[in-house]
Amino acid sequence: MEKIKMTNPLVEMDGDEMTRILWQMIKEELLLPYIDLKTEYYDLGLERRNETDDQVTVDSAIATRKYGVAVKCATITPNAARMTEYNLKEMWKSPNGTIRAILDGTVFRAPILIKGIVPYVKNWTKPITIARHAYGDVYKNTEIKVPGEGKAELVFTAPDGTQTRELIHNFDGAGILQGIHNTEKSISSFARACFNYAIDTKQDLWFATKDTISKKYDHTFKDIFQEIYDEEYKEKFEKLRIEYFYTLIDDAVARVIRSEGGFIWACKNYDGDVMSDMVATAYGDLSMMTSVLVSPDGVYEYEAAHGTVQRHYYKHLKGEETSTNSIATIFAWTGALRKRGELDDIPELMAFADKLEKACVKTVEDGKMTKSLSLISTCENPVILNSLDFIRAIRETFDSLA
Ligand code: NAD
């Protein structure tokens, strides 16, 4: 059988620990036998980031802007323990944060649904994709612990020195204060990324804030979304028969729980932080969550939502058998390959991605799975496979599909 040819490369960002091991296995077993794989390779493993003073992360993001599509393996975000473990020069920042800042992107997370893994919310028969605004609000706050009596004001000083003041509170005793901000530019980028992704995946878009209480701050989010929708996206949405729906955050939560899924839920930074974990857990497992970073100008970076699965890696290093679920990482590859196929007009590449995803789902539905999946599956007698055998089982299923 002839291998599928690619015209433009994918940006390949390798990573750390157990997911780095899976990365190789996926390429060898599931990709290289079928595709003349063209990638521009960046090693974002922590050792290489340390050697290059993290320049490799920046370079990989710039390459992503150039080529339009990237696939990323999970990477370690260093903490104090990692400083010693890897003898680091510096506590390098999260690669995801660095890449997101360069691409000005929004992260969309969606669960992979499989029969036999039943969501806690029984009526969620379709995936709910969460889009989290990744800039500002409480994540870039300024706080004061008020020691006692005094007046708190919000002050804005324009370049010419004019000041706008608002009283926050006249304290008659100790308390707390917090200042938060966002920018029109960031909110607009977020809105465009959400509208584009809704069109791309042909799903409705929901957005919610607390604009009845926050009449300027949250209301600005609502207004920006509405203006951009009306001016740039309304016609496209109507043509595709998809909907942009705005409501209050408390109403959104109630509707989401009652829904069958199948839409994108755009959330402000804090709401997205909280809701994405709730939604991921309710669908079953973090290892079945995909994640894609989309920039407002249409650049895509695909990855698994989970981390490097450190505990399994240490077992692997000791020569012990691991049973790590590679599905979300495989879906990162299929997402990127499908997008590459779409952009370069290579239908075989898109068909390959569809077929590989089908093979993953069918393998688990046929009762062959990793240990963590067997714990949440309703399958009566699952065959529990190790990391490599699971990937090989997917290959067998793939070859058996028409
Ligand atoms: P993790 O996602 O690696 O693991 C969390 C838990 O889920 C663990 O119990 C793990 O065993 C389980 N798990 C996750 N994915 C699994 C899979 N595919 N198969 C089986 N079990 C799975 O998160 P963590 O332990 O908090 O972090 C480990 C490292 O990953 C850290 O260094 C962190 O910085 C990094 N991390 C990276 C990313 C990323 O690159 N996107 C995201 C999160 C964490």
pLDDT by residue for the chain (402 residues), tens digit each?
Answer: 799 999 999 999 999 999 999 999 999 999 999 999 999 999 999 999 999 999 999 999 999 999 999 999 999 999 999 999 999 999 999 999 899 889 888 999 999 999 998 888 999 999 999 999 988 888 888 999 999 999 999 999 999 999 999 999 999 999 999 999 999 999 999 999 999 999 999 999 999 999 999 999 999 999 999 999 999 999 999 999 999 999 999 999 999 999 999 999 999 999 998 898 889 889 887 889 999 999 888 899 999 999 999 999 999 999 999 999 999 999 999 999 999 999 999 999 999 999 999 999 999 999 999 998 999 899 999 999 999 999 999 999 999 997
Q: How far does the centroid of ligand 1 lie from the alpha carbon of residue 298, in Å? A: 28
Model confidence, pTM: 0.91
**CB 74 near ligand 1, within 6 Å:** yes
Residue 144 to residue 381: CA distance in whole angstroms: 57
Q: Residue 202: phi, psi to the nearest 5?
A: 50, 50
- For β-strands 128-132 and 204-209, DSSP reports them as unpaired
**CB 76 near ligand 1, within 6 Å:** yes
pLDDT at residue number 353: 98
Residue 100 to residue 295: CA distance in whole angstroms: 8
DSSP assignment of 186-243 equals HHHHHHHHHHHHHHHHT-EEEEEE-TTTSTTHHHHHHHHHHHHIIIIIHHHHHHHT--
Which segments within 341-386 are labelled E, that is strand? 368-369, 383-384
pLDDT at residue number 273: 85
3-state secondary structure of 43: strand
Decide if the complex's ipTM is over 0.95.
Answer: yes
Residue 272 to residue 224: CA distance in whole angstroms: 18
Q: Atom 6 in ligand 1: which residue has the minimum CA distance?
A: 309
Q: Residue 377: phi, psi to the nearest 5?
A: -90, 150
Residue 100 to residue 107: CA distance in whole angstroms: 8
273 in a labelled binding site: yes
CATH match for 1-114+291-402 among 3.40.718.10, 3.30.70.1170, 3.30.700.30, 3.40.640.10: 3.40.718.10
**Helix axis angle, 17-26 to 327-344, nearest 10°:** 50
Helix, strand, coil proportions of the chain in percent (round to 5)? Answer: 45, 20, 30
Residue 168 to residue 148: CA distance in whole angstroms: 15
What's the angle, vertex CA 337, arms to CA 333 and CA 340, rounded to 5? 140
Residue 292 to residue 363: CA distance in whole angstroms: 24
3-state secondary structure of 160: coil
pLDDT at residue number 146: 97
SS (HEC) of 324-371: CCCHHHHHHHHHHHHHHHHHHCCHHHHHHHHHHHHHHHHHHHCCEECH
Q: Dig out the tokens for 259 from the structure.
A: 């829904």
Residue 100 to residue 95: CA distance in whole angstroms: 8
Q: How far does the centroid of ligand 1 lie from the alpha carbon of residue 306, in Å? A: 5
The partner residues of 291 in beta bridges, in order of sequence, read: 109, 303
| Domain definitions of the chain by residue range | 1-114+291-402, 118-137+184-283, 142-179
Q: What CATH architecture is 118-137+184-283? A: Alpha-Beta Complex (3.90)
Residue to probe by mutation, ligand 1, list 49, 92, 309, most atoms within 8 Å of CB = 309
Q: Atom 32 in ligand 1: which residue has the minimum CA distance?
A: 76
Residue 89 to residue 189: CA distance in whole angstroms: 34
Among residues 14, 86, 19, 11, the alpha carbon closest in space to that of 50 is found at 86
Q: Dig out the tokens for 149 from the structure.
A: 């009596």
pLDDT at residue number 341: 97
